[in-house]
Amino acid sequence: MISGMVLSDAESLMGSLELDERYARRILYWVYRRGIKSFDEINDIPVRVLQVLSGHVVTGLRSPIVSEVSSDGSVKYLFSDGGGLTHETVWLPDGKRRTVCVSVQAGCRMGCHFCATGRNGWGGNLTAGEIVNQVVSIQDPVTHIVLMGMGEPGDNIEAVIKACRIFTAEWGLAAGRRRVTVSTVGVTPAVKRLLEETECNITLSLHSPFPEERREVIPAEARWPFTETLNLLKEYNNRNKRRFSVAYVMIGGKNDTDRHLTELKRLLSDTDIRVNLLPYHPADVNDDRCSDGETMMRFKHELVTSGIGASVRKSRGADIAAACGMLAARRNDRQEVQKKNM
């Protein structure tokens, strides 16, 4: 399939089919910029070339199988790989900003306790083409791309890096490196590769500034301490002004105390690393609740007055199963009920 190919892949395909390699860029344009599902939709490449291509490959693009629209304008889409595995995509309009949040896996193996995705089982890695398809096939205007849906990018790093190349390259989506962000729990070897092989922004999902607390909620902390990722970001020669951030999901009474705030300020002072304070979406598995608005604003104020960039993200899509994995879980539950009733 074409979706997921970089320019050299497309050129190699043309060569193997004894076609002019110069058509590779046009093919990628029609797939990535125009979102075609069939080569018949192309009108500026010779029919003979398209006939040869049609006999050997497909575009690889798939439309979502389900979508839900929130009262706030955000949209959640559900995609299938054709074999039964599902993954989610969320489109978030906010003023002139149009962000699409894409998945990199069907499920997740990280086991973070506050995340709905991991509790729904493990399906497998998505290909670069399936990651890119989520941006191309939703038909909504997109200004920013965030890889922080279902799955951990560091656990599927080959496909993630390839997708990032397609997102940013002029022969791909040409989104621009400053408009693509990869969010990770901090898989250290993968973070190194993201720094070396891409120009995308990087966000570390932190949860707690205390390793022992973080380990209880994010098991990956035991293998890849968050301090390793923070040190990589702090030491990186950021001449191209990539944005490095910390995502901090705030849970009332758990990680929103003065003690946590003081340690956050200590860790991030004198750095250009920003803090995104995120509301917690309860997943009905415990009694945890989001920190109140006053506490979140106080955190932001204290961080900003300490010289640390910070923002409070609005809760979006609460009426359409906001947490990643919940739409897929509901669909799987319905299918299981249907099977039992057959």
Query: In this structure, what CATH number is given to the domain that contains residue 258?
Result: 3.20.20.70
Cα 232 from chain centre = 21
> Residues 88, 130, 152, 221: which is the catalytic one?
88
Residue 150 has pLDDT above 50, yes or no: yes
Q: What is the mean pLDDT of residues 321-330?
A: 52
Range of the domain at 82: 66-335
- Is the residue at 271 inside a domain? yes
> Residues 108, 164, 200, 324: which is the catalytic one?
324
- Is the residue at 81 inside a domain? yes
pLDDT bucket at 294, cuts 50 / 70 / 90: very high
Residues 6+ apart with CB under 8 A from 144: 97, 98, 99, 100, 175, 179, 180, 181
Same domain, residue pair 80 and 126: yes
Predicted confidence at residue 119, as pLDDT, reads 72
At residue 230's C-alpha, the angle toward residues 226 and 236, to 5°, is 145
Same domain, residue pair 23 and 97: no
pLDDT bucket at 336, cuts 50 / 70 / 90: very low
Same domain, residue pair 326 and 234: yes
- Is the residue at 59 inside a domain? no
Strands 86-94 and 97-102: antiparallel
Predicted confidence at residue 83, as pLDDT, reads 79
Percentage of the chain with pLDDT > 90? 80
At residue 269's C-alpha, the angle toward residues 222 and 235, to 5°, is 65
Same domain, residue pair 127 and 236: yes
Q: What is the mean pLDDT of residues 154-162?
A: 97
Each residue's pLDDT tens digit, 161-216: 999 999 999 999 999 888 999 999 999 999 999 999 999 999 999 999 999 999 99
> For residue 16, what are its two tokens?
């193997």
pLDDT bucket at 283, cuts 50 / 70 / 90: low
Predicted confidence at residue 82, as pLDDT, reads 76
Same domain, residue pair 85 and 37: no
Predicted confidence at residue 335, as pLDDT, reads 44
| 200 catalytic residue (yes or no) | no
Instruction: State which H helix or E strand residue 222 sits in.
Output: none
Strands 105-106 and 124-125: antiparallel
Same domain, residue pair 25 and 134: no
DSSP code per residue over 261-330? HHHHHHHHTTS--EEEEEE----SSSS--BPPHHHHHHHHHHHHHTT--EEEPPP--GGG--STTHHHHH
Predicted confidence at residue 318, as pLDDT, reads 63
Cβ–Cβ < 8 Å for 146, 89: no
Same domain, residue pair 136 and 32: no
Phi, psi of 102 (to 5 degrees): -110, 155
Residues 6+ apart with CB under 8 A from 292: 252
| 21 catalytic residue (yes or no) | no
Residue 322 has pLDDT above 90, yes or no: no
pTM for this entry: 0.90
Low-confidence winner among 15-19, 74-78, 172-176, 338-342 (lowest mean pLDDT) = 338-342
Each residue's pLDDT tens digit, 100-119: 999 999 999 998 887 777 77
Same domain, residue pair 44 and 87: no
Domain count, the chain: 2
Same domain, residue pair 105 and 133: yes
